[in-house]
Structure 1
Amino acid sequence: MEGEKNPQIIILFDGYSKDEESSMLANCTCTLIKGPPNIIIDTMTAWDGNRIKEALSHNGINCNDINFVICSHGHSDHIGCNYLFPKATHIVGFCVSFENRFYAINFKSGEEYIISDKIRVIPTPGHTLQDVSVIVDTGNSVIAITGDLFENEEDLSDDNIWKSAGSDSEHLQIINRKKILEIADYIVPGHGPMFKVQK
């Protein structure tokens, strides 16, 4: 659509993960795409609701202004605050729903979910077999918000980082990591700051 506003990517919280003696401290990167449409990607843990509400307010919107909740996959550190957004369509991995209505999107066969001509959700299995990534054309660059397909920038040079985080299919994860690196200018990983792709 002519004159359509370019989406704005705002990292609400950078993710992290670090091993401790008998456990791991981790939370995911939480990203806002400010449109319209307004989209939140990966809603952290169930204990982060107040932080997310405050961050949205700081950016001039509230939970009811969110049109889509997208979770790259169904792990608890990525879906914990979905309940804050009852007016949004929810995309959790390959599952697309609004209230009690579920939509048949054939991500498994490579189908994409097109939100607008600038924003699409694509299947990128590997970390789990139902992982998705969000591809955003900001007008200046292409940004891929990938969840745990990439743990952080360091895993580009150390495969052990993403493999040790768990991978349901290392083979598929390698294929989809390569695909994202080819199409993206920047990547927002699951547990670290956004980074520029070196072409």
Structure 2
Amino acid sequence: MSTRRNEVHILFVGYSRPDSNDSTAMRANCTCTLIKTRNGRNIIVDTLTAWDGERLTEVLRNLHGLQPEDIHVVVCTHGHSDHTGCNYLFRAAQWHIVGACVSNRDKYLDCALTRGESEPFQLCGDDVTVVRTPGHTLSCVSVLVRDTAHEGVVGICGDLFERVEDIADPTIWLEAGSENASSQRRQRLRLAELCDYIVPGHGQGFAVTSQMREKLRQQLNACNSGEHLEDVFM
């Protein structure tokens, strides 16, 4: 059944932390999100690890009345295994989007998104679009959901933001790994300016405040001017 406005539901809140039993390892799983559009399309963003299929299927069924075949599009914000593991459940989906790659079975789409152009990839007109946000990986994407039931414009950003705390403490996202930190800083500010609410890759969703935007702007400007990070973040 279609809804009057678009809905964003966080199915599982992600995490990332050191492994207490192994100093050479960490524990991580992604935040997994369901979009239910007012036109009746169901989109899942970031699908956990390959060991999470049973609990993901259970939550979709018990909380939202959906079976895997009811998912129309799968989006993985990037190709790391904790964001792509349950893609196999959704074989009825029109598209599987992994980073900037758009495919169905052995068919790979040639479009602005895959060519690295700025034009967004529309999943439901302008209501739900995929945009490139390179940084954590060079092929990272984010999903923008407009006209939502409560939060305004929602950005499901994957590891562009690890969690809300990395706005005040950017060492969190830097230590999580970034293939292009300069690009990631630009994209973090860009998405914060576009969105009212952000779903990060490994934490709770959060409302974006003017203070957060200003902090991100200061960080970007400081790095562009060559200032030392510790002079800005302390």
Same fold (TM over 0.5): yes
| 1:101 Cα offset (Å) | 1.1
Match of 1:111 among 94, 97, 119: 119
Q: Distance in 2 between matches of 1:134 and 1:169?
A: 20
Aligned equivalent of 2:77:
72
Counterpart of 2:7? 8
User: Which whole-Å deviations, capped at 9, do the CAs of 1:14-45 have from their partners, x for residues lacking one?
Assistant: 00000123310110000001232100000010
Contact 1:105/1:111 (<8 A) preserved: no
Which residue number in structure 2 is paired with residue 91 of structure 1? 97
RMSD, matched Cα: 1.3
Partner of 1:51: 55
Q: Which runs of 5+ in 2 are unaligned?
A: 211-234
For 1:122, the aligned partner's letter is V
Percent identity of paired positions between Structure 1 and Structure 2 = 49
Higher fraction of strand: 1
Picking from 126, 129, 137, the partner of 1:128 is: 137
Alignment equivalent of 1:27, drawn from 22, 26, 29? 29
The answer for the alignment partner of 2:200 in structure 1 is 189
Shift of 1:5: 2.9
Larger Rg: 2
Unaligned runs of 5+ in 1: none
Aligned equivalents of 1:92 and 1:122: distance in 2? 12
Measure the CA separation in 1 of the matches of 2:197 and 2:12: 17
Runs of 4+ residues deviating >6 angstroms:
none
**Do the aligned partners of residues 31 and 128 (structure 1) sit closer, same or farther apart at CA in structure 2, a change above 3 Å counting?**
same
Task: State the match for 2:107 in structure 1.
Answer: 101
d(CA) in 2 for partners of 1:4, 1:34: 8
- The residue identity in structure 1 corresponding to 2:141 is V
Match of 2:231 in 1: none
What TM-score do the two structures reach when normalised by structure 1?
Answer: 0.96
Distance 1:22 1:12 in 2: 29
Shift of 1:4: 7.0
Which is richer in helix?
2
Distance 1:189 1:34, change over 3 A: same
TM-score normalized by structure 2? 0.82
Q: Distance in 2 between matches of 1:5 and 1:131?
A: 30
Task: Give the partner amino acid of 2:60.
Answer: L
Shift of 1:106: 2.5
